Amino acid sequence: MAMDLDDLFSGKPSDPLTELGKQDLGPLSVAELDARIAALREEITRVENHMAEVARHKASADALFAKR
């Protein structure tokens, strides 16, 4: 199998979400899958909370610098 030189010398770490999507779920038990789902839901909540904070910060900055 030929190796892509861009992958070899990209200098950029692989995206964890891409790697997560490539993982084989076959060997995991139902309990492990439940735990995985719970962890993913927690991460979704964390990202949503961060997005809301970024939106609030942007709205504050926009209001502060709005033309009058």
- What percent of the chain has pLDDT above 70? 81
Mean pLDDT of the chain: 88
pLDDT tens, position by position, 3-14:
666 666 666 778
> Minimal CA–CA distance to 17: which of 48, 42, 43, 38?
43
Q: 């692989």: which residue's tokens? A: 14
pLDDT at 10: 65
Domain ranges of the chain: 28-68
pLDDT tens, position by position, 2-47:
666 666 666 677 888 899 999 999 999 999 999 999 999 999 999 9
pLDDT at 13: 76
**Which letter does DSSP use for residue 56 in this model?**
H
